[in-house]
Structure 1
Amino acid sequence: MDLNQDSDRTQDGFWRRIGNEVETVGVEAVRDDERTMSANKLFVVWAMASASATTPVIGSLLFAMGFTNMVIAIVIAFLIGFIPAGLFSEMGREIPLTALIVARRTYGWIGAFIFSVLFTFVNVGWFGLNTEVGGQILSSIFRTSGSFWFWVVGIVQIILVLFGMKWLEYFYRYTAALMIACYAVLTAYLFIHYHIHMPGPNGQFTWGASLSTILTFSILAWAYKISTMSRFCVPAHQTKRRGWFFVAGSSGIMLSVFLMGLVGILSQEATGNWNVALLGTHIPVWGVIAGLGVALAVIHSNAMNLYPSTVDLLAALNTVRKPMKWEQPIATVVLGIISTLLAVYGILDKIQGFLNIIGDVLLPFTFIMVVDWVWIQRKKTPQNTFFDHPSTASQWLSIPATVGFIVGFVINFWGADFLPRFFYNVLPLPVVGSIVGAAIFWILAVVSGLRVGDDSPETVR
């Protein structure tokens, strides 16, 4: 027996198994045998994705409201956002495609291409920003180079995303308790060593601006990405009870916002800094646990930035060419390296303003897609037609969706300059603009002859 040949075959078998686990589905429809994720798993995925190392900053951003008002605002934000988030969750279970492919029927191929490119860079930006924040915290805790931790965190995230949603779900599920325990240690240290009391209102604030902050920071910023994950869930037609699937993603997102926002506001009150993870620098032994919690929080959230960024880029590339088997892992590595380099060189500090206004784009995009999927397409467009090459000008660019989006964005971005105060002091202005934009889209779609609830496989554009 040739031992070298046996060793070679063993190694070949090992690498073949590894290669088979790398996700290569790209933008194509997920096979039915891969659609096994339960609602409970979807809840855990989004709870952990939302529990970023930067999530406690919500406690600082809403500090002037006080604890009670902050909780009320988070509950109201959930009530506003869970319906569009739930509809995207069901979209992925009804048709196992990423949202930017479904957007081809809403915005046309050119419109979907533009959004795909934009959201790719947005997600890359958030990936890099979270990596930078996490690296700085870890370097403070362990008193080592920040660049070293940028690359450690970046490489771990790239490897995880390479193996796709199956292994990401495993990672979220089996590290959730550990991350919770780490932040519990930090919170306990906060209560033991600092005077804690629930802060009350202590400054000027408006409900409209506060709600806008929560919605664009959390539930509605994530909404379109939910279908990218829920396409791996049990198909809608195979489940009798759909309620928990509908709210699992949004519930996970907002539970993390509430819990980490609570930690953030208490840390802000007690220490003057929202970032409770920095307490790890004062804990001789438990600082390692704090660092582990921070690393997990960064990786949890950033995986859900890099993964959609990869899929969004593939949606853009698919506009001009057919998918290739290994393009998803290649795109993941390239985007992950670019994002980490942005963190290392601190370029992200110069684009935070851009990232902060992206909610003005995301919300009208989201609301118009929901209206189109539910009331224009009536959830009846066959999945293969999303890949049919456009044959008319309206299939390249949807005028109703374009006009509706522009109106929504203008109101979101400039509405405070011309609308009565009620629309931005009391109501969340980005939601107001997005609802108006979606309504205009629906009116123009009906007037221009888009078939509402047509049973045929073709939808007129």
Structure 2
Amino acid sequence: MSSTLPDSIPDFQPDPTLINDDLAPTPASQRTYSGWEMASLWVGLVVGVPTYYLAGSLVDLGMSWWQGILTVVTANIITVVALGLTGHPGTKYGIPFPVLARSAFGIHGAHIPTLLRGLVACGWYGIETWIGGEAIFLLLPKSIKNSSLSNSIPWLGTSPIEFACFLVFWVAQLVVVIKGMDGIRELEKYSAPILIILTSALLIWAYVNAGGFGQVLSMSSRLSSSEFWSLFFPSLTANVSFWATLALNIPDFTRYAKSQKDQIIGQAGLPILMGAFTFVGLAVTASTQVIFGRVISNPIELLGKIGGISTMILSIIGITLATITTNIAANVVAPANALVNLSPSLFTFRRGALLTALLGIAFQPWRLLQSSESFVYTWLVGYSALMGPITGIMLADYYLIKSRNLQINDLYTLNPVGNYFYYNGYNLGAIAALVIGILPVIPGFLEKIGVLNSIPELLVMIYNNAWFFGFFSSGVVYWAFSGLKATKQMSDPFLPSTN
């Protein structure tokens, strides 16, 4: 393994508990992601059922079509800046997110942010897999859907046939997962044009059958000026949160980019992609009112209603590709690498991915979806309270404190004199800053899920802006802690250094 690391320290040998093939810096031979392949990754991520739902939710809450699109595009402009900044060290040093986290949180402390990110991903993995299984179920013949196998079993929480469809989709994803990052790259590369074609076909179908997009363009806002702004900021937070997970572990992908130019160009189109797919979701959903006499916001249900064997086959292909490409890239890589980082000798990427898939079942996503108060304001905004502070701390560490200069060898050593060993492997300043960024958001989350009846308006505002609050508060506090520590050590050079 030492041959893959820089030779800045003579005879340096990385600690075997901190490295394996999946955590070692990516060699030049594996840096093959072009700008197109990075862009293909985002096409596969954006074109999916959750994005479609997110688009319609803003209009359902009262926004006009253009206000909804403006909110989505604004959020994704913010997100793409975070993606570019976080992706930089991945491309520069070839290191994944768990290794980068060691710089800010410490060799052992890095397990905290990586496992938190992995936990959110496991929940998403189960939800996405359930959506894929739901697509299979809804497109089954009526004779099967109306059989006794469709009756829910109380202890299971769903019906045998729906659970079977869930498991079929679960297995299908593993075929790609076991091929590792190469399999993910190939899937994203070749599925991107297919997804663009299928999405365009759906949009054309809606346009022709609804006689144009007059329905969506005539939708006006149902909100007053004050109501709009009270809705805009939590909606902005929710939309930033939608990709806050990827904004955190994007080094897992940019480490394979050919250059900084490729990773930046490949991600720069995210606001355009999200804006375009948001319009597709809004236009098609609004068109169903004209075509079927009622609004059908569930794309899976809509595809089932269009009918025809060829349409059903295309629908299965489209939903399957859209869900698998989103799920594997967004929700497998992060927890798999987090487990590898936890124990490189025990886990490989494939083993970590398999455990992630198993945890996805354990989350029982059918129960999560039934008990979730709101996809936007409970799930998305809720977990952004974790993602925002971690992102703020890591960016403050890399840009403000380390000035983009990392000692790569020190990221793979347990030597106490290493730059990232801190206090017994933990950077207490980063952990304290993380707690400070999370705690004020908790009352708002508890109020959302019904544990608390009412909270002060200030705490409501903090929760509605959870990602932004955590990002800036934790980042600033961490930067301040680091400055105080440096000042203290300069004033008393005889104090033992904790790095």
Question: TM-score, normalised on structure 1?
Answer: 0.82
Residue of 216, 227, 231 corresponding to 1:197? 216
**Do the aligned residues in 2 keep the contact of 1:105 with 1:395 (CA within 8 Å)?**
no
Aligned-pair distance for 1:105?
Answer: 1.9
Amino acid at match of 2:122: V
Distance 2:268 2:164 in 1: 34
Per-residue CA deviations over 1:74-127 (Å, capped at 9, x if unaligned) read: 232133222221011111101111112211121123431122222222211111
**Do the aligned residues in 2 keep the contact of 1:280 with 1:288 (CA within 8 Å)?**
no
Partner secondary structure for residue 54 of structure 1: helix
1:249 aligns with 2:247: no
Amino acid at match of 1:176: A
**Do the aligned residues in 1 keep the contact of 2:385 with 2:466 (CA within 8 Å)?**
no
Residue of 173, 181, 192 corresponding to 1:165? 181
1:174 aligns with 2:190: yes
Aligned-pair distance for 1:414?
Answer: 4.5
1:349 aligns with 2:363: no
Determine the structure 2 residue equivalent to 1:402: 431
Aligned-pair distance for 1:350?
Answer: 6.6
1:275 aligns with 2:298: yes
**Do the aligned residues in 1 keep the contact of 2:132 with 2:319 (CA within 8 Å)?**
yes
Query: Which deviates the most, 37-46 or 277-286?
Result: 277-286
Q: Give the 3 Å change call, closer, same or farther, for CA 410–270 of structure 1 in structure 2.
A: farther
Q: Give the 3 Å change call, closer, same or farther, for CA 101–125 of structure 1 in structure 2.
A: same
Aligned-pair distance for 1:310?
Answer: 0.8
1:437 aligns with 2:477: no
Structure 1 alignment gaps of length 5 or more: 1-23, 237-241, 453-458
Determine the structure 2 residue equivalent to 1:29: 25
1:41 aligns with 2:28: no
Per-residue CA deviations over 1:383-410 (Å, capped at 9, x if unaligned) read: 2211111626525222221222222223
Distance 1:450 1:245 in 2: 36
For residues 229-308 of structure 1, the aligned pairs below 5 Å read 229-236=253-260, 242=261, 245-249=263-267, 251-252=269-270, 254-271=271-288, 272-282=295-305, 283-284=307-308, 285-304=310-329, 305-308=331-334
Aligned-pair distance for 1:300?
Answer: 0.5
Amino acid at match of 2:286: E
Q: Give the 3 Å change call, closer, same or farther, for CA 65–29 of structure 1 in structure 2.
A: same
Distance 1:414 1:249 in 2: 35
Determine the structure 2 residue equivalent to 1:417: 456
Question: TM-score, normalised on structure 2?
Answer: 0.76
Distance 2:282 2:103 in 1: 43
> What is the aligned-residue identity percentage?
17
Distance 2:414 2:487 in 1: 19
Amino acid at match of 2:132: G
Distance 2:352 2:487 in 1: 36
**Do the aligned residues in 1 keep the contact of 2:389 with 2:474 (CA within 8 Å)?**
yes
Determine the structure 2 residue equivalent to 1:85: 83
**Do the aligned residues in 2 keep the contact of 1:30 with 1:232 (CA within 8 Å)?**
yes
For residues 97-246 of structure 1, the aligned pairs below 5 Å read 97-143=95-141, 145-194=161-210, 196-198=215-217, 199-203=219-223, 204-205=227-228, 206-218=231-243, 220-236=244-260, 242=261, 245-246=263-264
Per-residue CA deviations over 1:277-306 (Å, capped at 9, x if unaligned) read: 322212213122122111111101111111
**Do the aligned residues in 2 keep the contact of 1:46 with 1:250 (CA within 8 Å)?**
no
Aligned-pair distance for 1:262?
Answer: 1.9
Per-residue CA deviations over 1:351-405 (Å, capped at 9, x if unaligned) read: 7578441111001101110110111112221222111116265252222212222
Per-residue CA deviations over 1:140-163 (Å, capped at 9, x if unaligned) read: 123453334322322222221222
1:378 aligns with 2:414: no
Distance 1:58 1:451 in 2: 48
Partner secondary structure for residue 350 of structure 2: helix
Distance 2:440 2:75 in 1: 19
Residue of 39, 50, 57 corresponding to 1:54? 50
Determine the structure 2 residue equivalent to 1:312: 338
